[in-house]
Structure 1
Amino acid sequence: MVLFSSSNVLLLLGFFAVSSLFLLTKAWKIGSRPVDIPPGPPTIPIFGNLHQMPIDKPHLQLQKWAQEYGPVYSIILGTTTMIVLSSDEAVKDLLDKRSGNYSDRPDMYIGQTIASGGLRLVVMRYGKFWRMIHKTIHNILNIRAAVNYVPYQDLENKIMLQGIIDEPDAFLDHIRRYTFSLSTQIIFGYRAPSTQDPNLQQLFWSFERWGKLAGSASAQIADLFPILQSIPAALSPPVRTARWLHEKEKFLYVRLWMRAKKGVSDGTGHPCFCNDLFRAQETEGFDDAQAGYISGSLLEAGSDTTAAILYGFILAMIIHPDVQNKVKAEVDKVVGPERLPTIEDYENLPYVRCCIKEAMRWMPTVILGVPHAAVNEDTYKGWRIPAGATVINNVWSIHMDPKRSPDPRTYKPERFASDTRSLYESATGEASQRDNYVFGAGRRLCQGIHIAERSLALGVSRLMWSFDISPATDPQTGEPAKYDGDDLVGGITVEPRHYKCNFKIRSIQKDKIIRRAVEKDAADFLDSRTGQWRKTPDGMAFSTWVPEEVKF
């Protein structure tokens, strides 16, 4: 019995040939740049510009392309179109003025779906749940509420100073305890008395690994070629690592959340963000894993960025001793030798403000921003921006634009001498006058910016009042160690590669003032057995969440 005639066989062969050619042609177009989107480097089929993206220091390549192709350009990475914004004007026009269309995040299969269970707030997709949490956070981090956290900041900062006096080689540990303990107090209602607090150590350990994993080449490739996401976990080491890391983080965050939740339920807890989150959970019905990651995401943001900025500032003081001398002279003149600087002194310390602004410009901790995504197709200056395109706020290139900041790799606080605005006022003001882009843009602007500025003001002014900071001695040469301000490590967030330096208290009198201040505050406010606050300072803006529909 003959099933196919010769003519039918030829017809089938022709069909398969045409189909194969169609599929091959379609696949060959992957990686090509449409003619109507912003320009960019030449592409190759399938990969686009992927082969040109370096694994190490990608911010330098994006800066080079910005210089070649302009402030708005595109790179094609497999199936993904990435629009790179490398000017303050472009960021203002799109991410701020058209924030309704650019408040989404791109899918991050490894970093968000697997390593975060889809729950990490900073890379969460835009939607009703994100808007509800955004409003809840705003209630406790807005500019009016931020003033009330100064007692926490004041005490934790004093304890940081004493820690550096006693353990100068562990200065980074004491900086991290400062920012972490402040964050845990606001979010969970407890403080971290020691640099050896296991929650503190796990937070920085896991967040560092998440940042590297989420920014790794394997994670990027899984997003650029979604078909790779179907590979079984047994055959995908990055997926296995991401799942393992998620379990570690989830254990920490949910445990801290459940501890705070129990305190709300039985009346033993302290006022904190989790009180509001508990009320939101009762109304909205999200589970404890979601609540844990929401509160844990805030802990990451509050602990890591501020610590990294202070770490970068200290490095700048070592590399530029002339600046260190100048800022110490200002603090000495305004404050004097007999008391610590307070937050009330900040308005009279303009050079301290300049140093903070320049520290974030000179060494931005979020070096390429956190990616945005276009919800709908858009046009800008005659170019089409496709729906779903990833949009990058190219922080490094903006900060290092010599037209915006002459001699950009030199730490020069004087460039902000006429800028008296707060970090928030700058972030929401005129684009050409914005001081930095570390805190994001549009609806995704970090809501902790007010608290961060106060923590940095106390950190910078008191470190300069307290210490002379100098290079460590190179053990091989006996000469002062050399430092590289361009040597940054990390993934989505970065900080200087770990370094050593010398901290020397500026006088015996200052040593005594710091120790007496810590002793007095501890006696007045802290439980001698647990090291926790006995009574929350008056005026804390907690438990303000109201379940209502918020329109953006």
Structure 2
Amino acid sequence: MSPAVVLGLTVVLCAWLIRRLGRIGSRERGLPPGPPTLPLIGNLHQFPTAFAHAKFTEWAKLYGDIVSAKLGPRTVIVLSSPSLVRECIDLRSATTSDRPSLHILELLYDDNEDLVLARYGPTWKALRRAAHDILSREACMKHLPIQHAEASQLMYDLLERPEGLYTHIYRYSASVILSVVAGIRSPQFEGTIVEDFDHLIRRVEYLLRPGGSPPVDLFPPLKYIPSRFAPWKTETKELRAKEEKLFFGILDHCVDRIKRDRRNGCFLEYVLDHQSYYGLDYRKMAYLGGILLIAGADTTAVFLRWFVACMLTHPDIQRRAQQEIDEIVGLDKSPELNDIEKLPYLQAIIKEVHRFRPVTPTAMPHVTTADERVGEFLIPKGATIFMNVWAIYHHLDYFDNPEVFDPERYMRSELGNKPGVDTTGLRNDLGFGGGRRICPGSNLASNSIFLNTMNLLWAFNLLPGKDEITGEPVSIDLNSFTGGLVAVPPPFPCEIIPRSEAKASMIREQFTAASPTFELFEQHIFSREA
């Protein structure tokens, strides 16, 4: 081959390669509109590493309710209207129920062990079927005794140590899910497995959030950086060991309890009895229990913290809700779960907290397993889809004054929407996700929310804490919260005062009366060293 031919082929090859590389990061024909891209990186330089909902909402205002962004060769789709969520996530769930493939998850877990983040397939289906069987609406009625008992301790803890609001709420939420899943309760936060789970959740969430670790999935050669130059690899290894110790320790505890004929009807006992039916090996059972604990402990606690913050900043709303509870429940008894059906204003408050400060502002991302078309736009196979729950719940087309905390909107309409607007796809539970990946624990979480919001308002006056120097009430910033996957409000000072001595006496009596229920889950307290 002559030098001229070789040179010509080289020039053609280089031109082809430059053209191909130049297309990486570009928005392909048919994709929804979005921010301008740069060669190779697309919108990587603009993609949020914190408070993703804020950037996504900004894009929605500029480009519309369906937006695309490019992260190198990968496509991200952001949905900011309820009708689009219904169309893409609910009605097309057969092809939009996958999760992103993340190298971090491959290091943390084996073969899709994480129910929440597992890829869509046989393993996830088996895990999901098991979780649904124990967390269905009917099954959750069996868990009410321990939820009532734990709620009585939360009231008692707030009565005796009101300064510990944050940890008391988390202890409640974690102990309920521990009892339901593993038959173990935690009577305190400090120095227990509950505190271990809290630390574990924070570390895992940080690694998984955008910017929490290098973009290995976009630049695969980063996988081969030696651990001594890659702190995230050491962190992942430590987290994996911590999770294995906790998850296997909990399942071993259940096995030991069964051997001693000391069953208490928890989820893991049921799964162990039906292991062959679900097709789960010992490791997958351990991780199913552990992931349910992580997912269930955090979200309910965060909602209750937002609820208290909203009551502190809106005393008139708090007083009206207390008046409704007093009229319906009465003064000589505490609330029961079925009382919530007769408390429309409290129901409106709960819906408004979900709308005003959704716990997961962008929900968990979905991934498409086939090309889909929505109107004129293409959503390609392998695209990551975000439900921008924040934007939907703060959308001026659907809600009057969406930045104002106003439960009255839910007294006027079931969905809190403006009159006359098309509410296709609008749900009060968008924060629980959608399609086939909707949270399986939503029934258990809702029962906890109903019980504790009633209890808190029935039992206590919630007042802003006072500055130690000036003695003036400390203002609470409802716009201050963490920017990760879960929107957690920072600790805030709060005065929690029993509404009467009679109510304080009832709280102490109910906590004492809960002892037989507690004992069923305290055959011996699970050791964090197990």
| TM-score relative to the length of structure 2 | 0.93
Is 1:75 aligned with 2:72?
no
The aligned residue for residue 173 of structure 1 is 167
Aligned in 2, Cα 1:529/1:355: closer, same or farther, shift over 3 Å?
closer
Q: Deviations over 1:455-481 (max 9, x none)?
A: 101110110011111111223543211
Is 1:525 aligned with 2:517?
yes
Aligned in 2, Cα 1:477/1:32: closer, same or farther, shift over 3 Å?
farther
Query: How many positions carry a matched residue from both structures?
Result: 518
Deviation at 1:530, TM superposition (A): 4.4
Give the aligned residue type for 2:62: E
Q: Deviations over 1:94-114 (max 9, x none)?
A: 11011111111111222x222
Moved more, 220-229 or 99-108: 220-229
Cα distance in 2 between the residues matched to 1:245 and 1:387 = 32
Cα distance in 1 between the residues matched to 2:489 and 2:521 = 37
Flag structure 2 segments of 5+ consecutive residues without an equivalent: 416-422, 526-530
The aligned residue for residue 90 of structure 2 is 96
The aligned residue for residue 381 of structure 1 is 375
Flag structure 1 segments of 5+ consecutive residues without an equivalent: 1-6, 422-429, 534-552
Is 1:313 aligned with 2:307?
yes
Q: Is the 8 A contact 1:74 1:83 kept in 2?
A: yes
The aligned residue for residue 466 of structure 1 is 459
Q: Deviations over 1:180-218 (max 9, x none)?
A: 111111111121122225210011111111111100315
Give the aligned residue type for 1:451: L
Is 1:453 aligned with 2:463?
no
Q: 1:325 aligns with which of 292, 315, 319?
A: 319
Moved more, 117-126 or 463-472: 117-126
Q: Is the 8 A contact 1:86 1:393 kept in 2?
A: yes
Q: Deviations over 1:493-533 (max 9, x none)?
A: 221122221111111111100001111221x4343994779
The aligned residue for residue 116 of structure 2 is 122
The aligned residue for residue 3 of structure 1 is none
Cα distance in 2 between the residues matched to 1:488 and 1:512 = 36
Q: Deviations over 1:227-277 (max 9, x none)?
A: 433434333222221221121122111211121133335533321111232
The aligned residue for residue 200 of structure 1 is 194
Partner SS state of residue 502, structure 1: strand
Q: Is the 8 A contact 1:103 1:443 kept in 2?
A: yes
Cα distance in 2 between the residues matched to 1:438 and 1:529 = 31
Deviation at 1:414, TM superposition (A): 1.3
Cα distance in 2 between the residues matched to 1:164 and 1:47 = 51
The aligned residue for residue 483 of structure 1 is 476
Cα distance in 2 between the residues matched to 1:356 and 1:109 = 37
Aligned in 2, Cα 1:491/1:289: closer, same or farther, shift over 3 Å?
farther
Partner SS state of residue 67, structure 1: helix
Give the aligned residue type for 2:80: S
Cα distance in 2 between the residues matched to 1:431 and 1:511 = 46
The aligned residue for residue 515 of structure 1 is 508
Deviation at 1:164, TM superposition (A): 0.7
The aligned residue for residue 346 of structure 2 is 352
The aligned residue for residue 389 of structure 2 is 395
Aligned in 2, Cα 1:531/1:265: closer, same or farther, shift over 3 Å?
closer
Cα distance in 2 between the residues matched to 1:396 and 1:225 = 30
The aligned residue for residue 236 of structure 2 is 242
The aligned residue for residue 435 of structure 1 is 428
Deviation at 1:18, TM superposition (A): 3.3
Aligned in 2, Cα 1:205/1:529: closer, same or farther, shift over 3 Å?
closer
Give the aligned residue type for 1:471: P
Q: Deviations over 1:133-175 (max 9, x none)?
A: 1111111111111122111111100000000111111111111
Q: Is the 8 A contact 2:98 2:119 kept in 1?
A: yes
Aligned in 2, Cα 1:416/1:433: closer, same or farther, shift over 3 Å?
farther
Give the aligned residue type for 1:323: I
Cα distance in 2 between the residues matched to 1:398 and 1:225 = 33
Aligned runs of 1:286-301 on 2, under 5 Å? Answer: 286-301=280-295
Give the aligned residue type for 1:375: T
Deviation at 1:16, TM superposition (A): 3.7
Is 1:29 aligned with 2:23?
yes
| TM-score relative to the length of structure 1 | 0.89
Partner SS state of residue 438, structure 1: helix
Deviation at 1:288, TM superposition (A): 3.0
Cα distance in 2 between the residues matched to 1:87 and 1:412 = 21
Is 1:492 aligned with 2:485?
yes
Partner SS state of residue 105, structure 1: coil
What is the aligned-residue identity percentage? Answer: 31
Q: Is the 8 A contact 2:25 2:42 kept in 1?
A: yes
Cα distance in 2 between the residues matched to 1:361 and 1:89 = 17
Q: Deviations over 1:15-59 (max 9, x none)?
A: 444333322322221110012111111111111111112333221
Give the aligned residue type for 1:50: L
Aligned in 2, Cα 1:453/1:80: closer, same or farther, shift over 3 Å?
same
